[in-house]
Amino acid sequence: MNLGLVVEGSTDEESYSKLVRRIRNDVGGLQVRSCGGKYKLKNGFVGYLKEFQRNNAWRINLALVIRDSDCLPSQQIEQQLRDVLEASGFAPHFPVEFFATPCMLESWLLSDLGTIRTVAANRGARSRADLQNLVITPHHDANDDDTFSQVLSRFGLPATPAVYGEIAAAADFELVNQRCAHFREFCRRVRLH
C-alpha cells in the first residue's frame, strides 16, 4: 500500500508519518507533503494530489488530506475540502480521504504523558516536570497546542518535528482513544482502502 499524505506543517508531517505506519503495517511507499498552514493546505492540496498522480513510480493507492479542526465541527471542514477538490475538476485515480482532527494533533500527543516522559529520558533532557499546576483537560481542548508546548518545555523537550515524531511513534493508542474517541475514526479511515 502506497500512501500520499498532505498535512499542515512539519510537525504534522513527522507525526502523521509515524502514526499511519503504526496503524497500517502494509505501508510501502509514503509521500508526505507539508503545506505550511491550514489555509495553504486548503488552497494547495489539489496540486499535491496531482503530483501524486503524475509520478507513476509512487503508485499511490490512497491519499489522506489531514488538517486540524481547531475544535470546530470536523464534518464541515472535511466537506469544505471535498468541495475544493470537486470545484477543481481534478478526479484522482486513487481514493482521497479528508480528515479534520478534533481538535488538533497536539490533543492526541498530549494524551500519553508517560511516552513524553520516556522520550525526554531517552533524549537526556533535563526535566522540570512539575505538572501539578498545569491544567490538562480529560478531553481534547482548544488550548491543547499551548498545553502541549508547556508539557514539552517542562520535560525539557523542544517542540521540533523530531520530538513530535518520537512521541507519535510510541504513544499508547488506548490512552489517545480515551482522551479523544475520534482517533478511532482516524484509524478506521487510514485502514479503509
Q: Which CATH class is domain 3-102+181-191?
A: alpha beta
For 53-75, how does the pLDDT look when each residue is reduced to its tens digit (9 = 90+)? 999 999 999 999 999 998 889 99
For 144-174, how does the pLDDT look when each residue is reduced to its tens digit (9 = 90+)? 999 999 999 989 999 999 999 999 999 999 9
Residue extents of the structural domains in the chain? 3-102+181-191, 107-170
**Can you give the pTM of this predicted structure?**
0.93
What pLDDT, on the 0 to 100 scale, is given for residue 132? Answer: 63
2 Cβ contact list (under 8 Å, min separation 6): 27, 28, 29, 30, 31, 58, 59, 60, 61, 62
For 78-125, how does the pLDDT look when each residue is reduced to its tens digit (9 = 90+)? 999 999 999 999 999 999 999 999 889 999 999 999 999 899 989 988
Residue 168 contacts residue 15 (beta carbons within 8 Å): yes
What pLDDT, on the 0 to 100 scale, is given for residue 131? Answer: 66
Q: Average model confidence (pLDDT) for the chain?
A: 93
d(CA 114, CA 99): 27
User: Can you tell me the mean pLDDT for 1-20?
Assistant: 97
pLDDT band at 130 (very low <50, low <70, confident <90, very high): low
Listed residue (8, 9, 21) closest to 190, CA to CA: 21
